[in-house]
Structure 1
Amino acid sequence: MSEGVEWALHSCLNLAWAGPDRPVTAARLAAYHELPAPYLNKQLQALVRAGIVVSTSGPRGGFRLARPLARITLMDVVAAVEGPDEAFRCAEIRQQGPGGGAPASYRLPCAFAHAMARAELAWRRELAGQTLEDVREQAEAQAPAAPERLRRWLANG
C-alpha cells in the first residue's frame, strides 16, 4: 500500500478538525506534516473523484470533507487512493517450467490465489467496517490537544 493512503487518511482527519466551513489548501495540509504538496495534492484529487472531499477554487478555496467522518470508511479512502484492484495478482507461474505440462492439475484456481483472495476479502471487510469517525475518537483519546493544535496552526498561517 502506498504512503499516499496514510497521507489521505490524516488529511481527512485534519479537514474534520479544521471544521466544515474552513477549506484548507493542499499546500497547507502538506506543510502541517512536512509532506510534498504536489504529491499530497494527487491524493486529495483522488479523494475528490471518490466524493470524499470537495475542492473549491479561489483565494479562499481549498479542500473540505464532502460528508461526515461517520460516513467515510477506511476502505473508501484506500480504494480512492489505491484503486479497486486486488492486491495480489496470480500470474499462474505454476503452469511454467517442469510442472507446466500437466494442464489437468490447473482446472482449479491456484491454491495461493485462493488463500490470498480470502485474506484480502477479510482485510477489505475490516476496513469497510471502520469509519473515520471511529478513528477520530481513538486519535482524540490518544492526543486530546491535537484538534485545537491544528486549528491554531491553521489560524496562524
Structure 2
Amino acid sequence: MSSGVEWGVHCCLTLAWLEGEGPVSTGRLAAWFDVPTEYLKKQLQALTRAGILESTPGVQGGFALARRPESITLMDVVTALEGADELFRCTEIRQSGVGGLGGGDEFRRPCGVSAAMLRAELAWRRELAAQTIADLMSASPEASAERTRRRYREMSRPLP
C-alpha cells in the first residue's frame, strides 16, 4: 500500500474535525502534515472522484468531506486510492517448469497458497469496511480534535 492511503485517511479525519471551518486548501493540508503538496493533491483528487471529498475551486477553495464521517469507511479510502484489484494474483506457477510436469487432478482446484491469500485479503477488506472515519474520531482523544481546530484557526489568522 502506498503512503497515499495513510495521507488520505489522516486528511479525511482532519477534515471531519474541521467540519464547519469551510474548505481546507491542499497547501494547508500539506503544511499540516509536512508532505509534498503535489503528491497530496493527487490523493485528494482521487478521493474527490470517489465521492469521499468535495472540492471547491478558487482562492477560498479547498476540500471538505462530501459525506458524513459515519458513511466513509477505511475500505472506501483504500479503494479510492489503490483501486479495487485483488492484492494477490495467483499466476499458477505450480503448473510451470519441472514442478508442473505430470500434474493432473491437483491442478483442477485453486492452490492452497491462492486460497490462503484470498481468505486473508477478505478478512482484511471486511475489517477495513467495518471501520469508519467516525470510528477513528471516537477512538481519538478529544484533545486531538480540539488541538486540530485550535491550531487550524491559528494557522488561518492573517499575519500582522
User: Which amino acid in structure 2 is aligned with residue 14 of structure 1?
Assistant: T
Q: C-alpha deviations, 1:77-109, integer Å up to 9, x for none?
A: 011111001111111111112111214321101
Contact 2:17 2:145 survives alignment (8 Å)? no
Partner of 1:30: 30
Q: Could you say if the C-alpha distance between residues 70 and 152 of structure 1 is closer, same or farther in structure 2, counting changes exceeding 3 Å? A: same
Q: Which secondary structure state, in structure 2, belongs to the residue aligned with residue 133 of structure 1?
A: helix
How many Å separate the matches in 2 of 1:142 and 1:20?
Answer: 18
**SS of residue in 1 equivalent to 2:64:** strand
Normalising by structure 2, we get a TM-score of 0.90
* Matched residue, 1:152: 153
Aligned length: 157
Which consecutive residues of structure 2, in runs of 5 or more, have no partner in the other structure? Answer: none
Q: Is the 8 A contact 2:23 2:63 kept in 1?
A: yes
- Quote the Cα distance in structure 2 between the aligned partners of 1:32 and 1:149: 13
Runs of 4+ aligned structure 1 residues displaced above 6 Å come to none
TM-score by length of 1: 0.92
Equivalent residue for 1:97?
97
- Mapped partners of 1:31, 1:105: distance in 2: 55
Given residue 12 of structure 1, which amino acid in structure 2 is its aligned partner? Answer: C
Residue pair 1:20, 1:64 contacting (<8 A) in 2 also: no
Cα deviation for residue 151 of structure 1 reads: 2.5
Please give the alpha-carbon distance, in whole angstroms, between the structure 2 residues aligned to 1:150 and 1:76. 28
Alpha-carbon separation, structure 1, partners of 2:51 and 2:155: 24
| Backbone CA RMSD of aligned residues | 1.7
**Identity %, equivalent residues:** 53
